[in-house]
Amino acid sequence: MSEMTGDLKYILYTEELIQETVSKLAERINAEYKGKEPLFVGILKGSFVFMADLIRKIDLKCSVDFMVVSSYGSGRSSTGAVKINKDLSEDIEGRDVILVEDILDSGLTLSYLIKYLQVRKPASIRICTLLDKPARRTTEIVADYTGIICPDEFIVGYGLDYAEKYRNLPYIGVLKPEAYV
């Protein structure tokens, strides 16, 4: 058992379940975007592991870009203020954009991003999230592609962090309260 695993109450989602979920999301996107060339936009830092696995299962001509957005600082909940630290490198006018997020939590960041990107006149903007935590939603937003509806627990792993730690776990686990108090 690694030092990080000892900080977990339990493993919520195994590597196998995560990969199965990623495959199902990719199958849907492949079918719905057949003949199109979507732009996948990873929202860093949390989405990088999910984005890498997802994009390898996409069987379409597509592009990849990233945005660095902050609304959490180093804490457990969103500050509510969204800051763009790195914007897109590509022009999205007339493009089909798929925002790739690790978790849809409060919805504040994605709501802000959609409004922010709409002024650039993309053909469409859709959201693909590995995890959806509706119990934490504070704004009306729904992902177009959702992997797993998750409970209102403090989770880490597979890109998700607490104070920049635990992203490298290959599964998703529930963090013990003493690890973040």
**pLDDT of 141:** 95
What's the average model confidence in pLDDT over 19-24?
98
- pTM metric for this prediction: 0.91
**Beta bridge partners of residue 150, listed in sequence order:** none
The predicted-structure confidence for 101-125, as pLDDT tens digits, reads as follows: 999 999 998 999 999 999 999 999 9
The upper half-sphere exposure of residue 178, i.e. CA atoms within 13 Å in the direction of its Cβ, equals: 5
Assess whether 144 carries a catalytic annotation.
no
Per CATH, domain 15-152 is 3.40.50.150: no
Q: Which of 7, 96, 102, 105 is catalytic?
A: 105
Measured CA to CA, the distance from residue 39 to residue 41 in angstroms comes to 6
The predicted-structure confidence for 73-108, as pLDDT tens digits, reads as follows: 555 555 567 889 999 998 999 999 999 999 999 999
